[in-house]
Amino acid sequence: MISFSRLRIGAKPSLVVACILLGLAACPALAGMAIEEVETSSGIKAWLVQDYSLPIVTTRFAFRGGRTQDPSGKEGIVNLITELLDEGAGNLDSDAFQERLDDAGAEMLFEAGPDAVYGYMRVLAARKDEAFQLLRLAIEQPRFDQQPVDRLRAQIVSSILARAKDPETAAQFAWMRAIYGDHPYSRREEGTVQTLAAVTTSDLKAVHERIFARGNLTIAVVGAIDPGTLKRDLDRIFGGLPAGPSLTPVVDAVPKLGRAIRVAYDLPQTQLSLAYPGIPRKDPQFFAANLMNQILGGGAFTSRLWNEVREKRGLAYGIYSTLENIDHASALVIGTGTRPDRAAETLSLIRAEVRRMSEEGVSEDELTAAKKKLIGGYAIENLNSSSAVAQTLVQIQLEDRGIDYVERRKQLIQAVTVEDVRAVAKRLLSADPTVMTVGPSLKGTNR
């Protein structure tokens, strides 16, 4: 799910205080929620869940594009744009914009993902008109004044330099380069000192104009607002944007497997990462793959890898596997950390468990338990607050799963058989993975 990098909360704590006084700083899951699609007179579409349990309106949205739209030699520009959107817009400079945001008591934030730019606003329903006007200015008329550009760029550069010798950062960059080669997914999301120095105000404006348009916009709204009011508000916020974006095409990336990556550091633990083929979201075997992953290493305290690596042998405090999906690539990734003198043993054990699943599949009992977890945990993990609901609905739209997906998902999971899981396990887990080790050398192995 989306992790937003920066949260701006108004100094006047009207929204936060209101939630606390009501005992609802975190809202309960919206059980039995009704999702409706609204469309404005200018053709802007959004999914709406009306919820009047709190006088709050939560809006999440995404513009397709993201960091893959960074021009060559100016990597980091899309991330910098998201940092600057609330640093002055329209006739309001940075200070004036922040004062107005404080007065509205609203939360506003933006983040650049690999394939989309995400935005968020949460505000009391009674103050939404003021807040929505600021949101309109931020996305439609950002100023990119030189002073905030220099300040935010300097902060990002400082962060890059501070992490330059961090082993985890070095490992992540090595991993992405090995897996994705020259594809845009291998780029550093914040750019580099050199690429950021090359970015001009004209560049910022040009990239902003290419990405921010109605034609690549996805919206979800949850809260105390009716469809008619929402239609008018959406036209006010987004109606002034260009009709269509001008995005640079991005080709699909096939992760490069069968490689060994060594990042040598004198650390108390050796970190192990393995990448196997993934599966696209639209693939007919997608849910079988998710259940397979749950059994292999996705289920905390219950997975095969947990039992073999942690419970039986105490080789690691934790171990996981996950199916990673972005718009143009997918992979199954396994990760853990262990003592350097047990790293070779741990790696061998992981590969043996993967091989066993690829050859033998799973049992009926394992599949039943995995189905129960994936079905029962969905609401807890994805629908436990108005913000989470809005975020989930944006993601469902980006993945083109349909407005009935929340209900239909249970049926798709229940339909998976043991044979389905065995087939997808053989398909994904028979490959020779890329393996990365971070830490001292592994004894007893050439990896």
Q: What's the rounded mean pLDDT across residues 305-330?
A: 96
Q: Dig out the tokens for 444 from the structure.
A: 């007893």
Residue 147 has pLDDT above 50, yes or no: yes
Rounded Cα distance between 53 and 386, Å, is: 10
Class of domain 33-237: alpha beta
Neighbours of 71 (CB within 10 A): 16
DSSP 127: G
Rounded Cα distance between 65 and 248, Å, is: 8
The angle subtended at Cα 99 by Cα 109 and Cα 85, nearest 5°, is 35
pLDDT for res 27: 44
Q: Where are the alpha helices (DSSP H) in 145-246?
A: 146-162, 167-180, 193-197, 201-211, 227-238
**309-314 long-range CB contacts below 8 Å, 24 or more apart?**
309/336, 309/346, 309/349, 309/350, 313/349
Superfamily of domain 258-437: Metalloenzyme, LuxS/M16 peptidase-like (3.30.830.10)
Residue 20 has pLDDT above 60, yes or no: no
DSSP 92: B
Residue 15 has pLDDT above 60, yes or no: no
- The pTM (predicted TM-score) of the whole model is 0.90
Which residues sit opposite 262 in a β-bridge? 437
Question: Considering the chain, what percentage of its residues have pLDDT values greater than 90?
Answer: 87
pLDDT for res 442: 67
Neighbours of 18 (CB within 10 A): 17
Which helix (H) or strand (E) element contains residue 47? strand 45-50
Rounded Cα distance between 330 and 320, Å, is: 17
Residue-averaged pLDDT of the chain = 91
pLDDT digits (tens, 9 = 90+) for 364-414: 999 999 999 999 999 988 999 999 999 999 999 999 999 999 999 999 999
Q: Domain extents for the chain?
A: 33-237, 258-437
Residue 201 has pLDDT above 60, yes or no: yes
Q: Dig out the tokens for 346 from the structure.
A: 């741990």
Rounded Cα distance between 437 and 442, Å, is: 8
DSSP 61: E
CA dist 229 to 106, 233, 339, 393, Å? 19, 6, 59, 20
Phi, then psi, of 57 in degrees rounded to 5: -120, 125
Q: How confident is the model at residue 443 (pLDDT cuts 50, 70, 90)?
A: low
Residue 6 has pLDDT above 80, yes or no: no
Q: Dig out the tokens for 227 from the structure.
A: 């469809």
pLDDT for res 299: 84
pLDDT for res 353: 97
Q: Strand, helix or coil at 372?
A: helix
Q: Dig out the tokens for 242 from the structure.
A: 């260009």
Q: What's the rounded mean pLDDT across residues 161-169?
A: 90
Is 258-437 the same fold as 33-237? yes
